[in-house]
Structure 1
């Protein structure tokens, strides 16, 4: 795990947090409630997705660079937010 953190760097980690916060804010606006919960879940999912993929041995993120990592994080956050929305209905 440390190698993943070393390879993405602090700037990328901050960008992952921003991507997750934006995804969570959009989901919160759509849901119309619990904005803070959606933002926190979005951040957690966006940060966790690249680490989970690296733990599973999916190395496409390293080859694709920062943009691909951010897109994967956005997709992971969106998926988790949809699941949270379905469970909290």
Structure 2
């Protein structure tokens, strides 16, 4: 993943992997439709911004946070294992 992100960043696209994934998803399922699907699945909620009546605050719900929190923990665990692993001459897959 990191090598792919570096390629996207260094290429003419100037995109992080996260930005690419979000934009790619929106391209495949444009705006309101994907948002409606995520909201219908109970993964996000939208509420009025109390400081700006023209804006909304969009946040993941408790249900939406659960898989993300698990994935973040898995990512951090894997990163820690790789950071602690001895350096070898073998190429990284």
TM-score when normalising by structure 1 = 0.33
- In terms of fraction of residues, the more helix-rich structure is 1
TM-score when normalising by structure 2 = 0.32
Greater Rg, structure 1 or structure 2? 2
- In terms of fraction of residues, the more strand-rich structure is 2
Relative contact order, higher structure (CA 8 A, sep 6+): 1
